[in-house]
Amino acid sequence: MQAWGSPEWLQPTYNLETHLSQLIGDYCMRKRDGLDNLWIMKPWNMARTIDTTVTGDLSAIIRLMETGPKICQKYIERPALFQGRKFDLRYIVLVRSICPLEIFLSDVFWVWPESLLILDKSMCPLWFPV
């Protein structure tokens, strides 16, 4: 199976180490057009919500780069909900090759309601603390 292009639902995502100027351009165009400009930043080298920030302030985004490498993605204002709550889909993926890209995706996945991540680990068949 092959996929080309970006699906409409995929939010713009930038590695702040290498694509800061593209993010600034996108931010300025969204501001000019009166669009929502809320962004989420996460370190690409940490787990859970350590050093995760949501902001609409471009100067704060640039300052946050000082705390380590980050991925910055347009925040989804109206996310899909499962039983009225935000959720994660957890997949097992094996990357065999980057160029050409070759991946294997397990046919087993888990829906993790946001509250489950914090409150009730017993409902999951596997729990991987990170």
Specify if 129 maps to a domain. Answer: no
Same domain membership, residue 25 and residue 62: yes
Please report, for the domain that includes residue 37, its CATH number. 3.30.1490
Averaged pLDDT score across all residues of the chain: 81
The band of 5, judged by pLDDT with boundaries at 50, 70 and 90, is low
Structure token pair of residue 122: 């017993």
Question: What pLDDT does 87 receive?
Answer: 81
* Continuous segment of H or E residues that includes residue 73: strand 70-74
Same domain membership, residue 109 and residue 69: no
Cα 12 to Cα 73: distance, rounded to the nearest angstrom: 6
**Domain range for residue 104?**
87-123
C-alpha of 99 from chain center? 23
Q: How many domains does the chain have?
A: 2
The band of 110, judged by pLDDT with boundaries at 50, 70 and 90, is confident
Same domain membership, residue 100 and residue 68: no
When comparing pLDDT for 1 and 34, which is higher? 34
Same domain membership, residue 97 and residue 64: no
| Region at 5 (left for phi over 0; alpha for psi -120 to 50; beta for the rest) | left
Spatial contact of 50 and 43, defined as CB atoms under 8 Å apart:
yes
Q: State pLDDT tens for residues 63-101.
A: 999 988 999 999 988 888 877 888 878 888 899 998 898
